[in-house]
Amino acid sequence: MHIMTTTLPDTRIARRAMIDSQLRTSGVNEEYALARMLAVPREDFLPADKSAQAYTDRAIALGDQGHLAAPLFYGKLLLEAAPAPSDRVLVVSGGTGYLGALLAPLVASLTEITAAEAATLSGAGEYDLIVIDGAIEQLPEGLAAALKEDGRIATGLVLRQVTRLASGRRIAGQVNLQPVEDLGIPVLATFAAPTRWTFA
C-alpha cells in the first residue's frame, strides 16, 4: 500500500528568493537588513488564508487588521532607519508586528504602538529612532516630540498623492522629513492631513 505524505514548503527558500529577486536587485545589500528579512517568516504575520501571498512583491491588505507591506519597503526602511545597538526605538505598527520583529534584535529596546496610539502620543524626547510601518501625510507633533534631539525617523510619506520613502532628524525641536525615493507603500489613514477647502 502506498501512503501519500505531504511536506510543508520550506519558506526559507521563498525568503531567499525574495532577497535575491526583490531586494538585492533594488539596491538592498546591507547584511543586517538581508539577515533579518531572511530570519523572519512573513507568513507568520498573516492569516492562514493569505499566507501563500507572503513573498509576493506587493502589499497585502488585511482590512481592519492593517497591512503587510511589500518586502522591498521593509528592506529599504531598514536601510534608512540604520538601527544601532544602543538605539531606543519606537515602532508605529502597520497592524501585524512584522516590522517590530525585524528590528528588535538590532537595537537596545523597542516599543511598538498602533497608529491610533501614535496619533495621540504626547512625546517627551525619549527615543533615538522612530520607524513607521506605512505612509503618512503629516507627522503629529506629539509623535515628533517623542524623538530625542538629533533622533532619527524613517517612514513612508505621501506627497502629491505619491508614496515615497522618507527620513529625517529632530533638530532644534523640529522634524523635517526628506523624501528618499518613490516606493509603493500602504497609506496610514490615521495620519491624513486635514482637508483644505478651496474656492473657485
- Residue 7's pLDDT is 40
Q: In the chain, what's the furthest Cα-to-Cα distance?
A: 80
**Cα 28 to chain centroid, rounded:** 15
Compute the distance between CA of residue 113 and CA of residue 100 in angstroms, rounded to an integer.
10
Q: Which residues contact 90 (CB under 8 A, 6 or more apart)?
A: 110, 111, 112, 113, 127, 129, 130, 131, 146
Compute the distance between CA of residue 141 and CA of residue 187 in angstroms, rounded to an integer.
19
Compute the distance between CA of residue 137 and CA of residue 188 in angstroms, rounded to an integer.
8
Compute the distance between CA of residue 28 and CA of residue 15 in angstroms, rounded to an integer.
14
Give the pLDDT band of residue 64 (cuts 50, 70, 90): confident
Residue located via cell numbers 528592506: 75
Q: Where are the beta strands (DSSP E) in 2-126?
A: 60-61, 67-68, 88-92, 109-113
- Residue 91's pLDDT is 98
| pLDDT (tens digit per residue) in 100-123 | 999 999 999 999 999 999 999 987
- Residue 4's pLDDT is 44
Mean confidence (pLDDT) of the chain: 92
Give the pLDDT band of residue 10 (cuts 50, 70, 90): confident
> Considering the chain, what percentage of its residues have pLDDT values greater than 90?
84
| Nine cell digits for residue 92 | 508605529
How many angstroms separate the Cα of 69 from the Cα of each of 3, 13, 14, 52? Answer: 40, 20, 17, 15
Domains of the chain, first to last: 11-191 (3.40.50.150)
Helix (H) or strand (E) holding 32: helix 31-39
Is the confidence at residue 1, as pLDDT, over 70? no
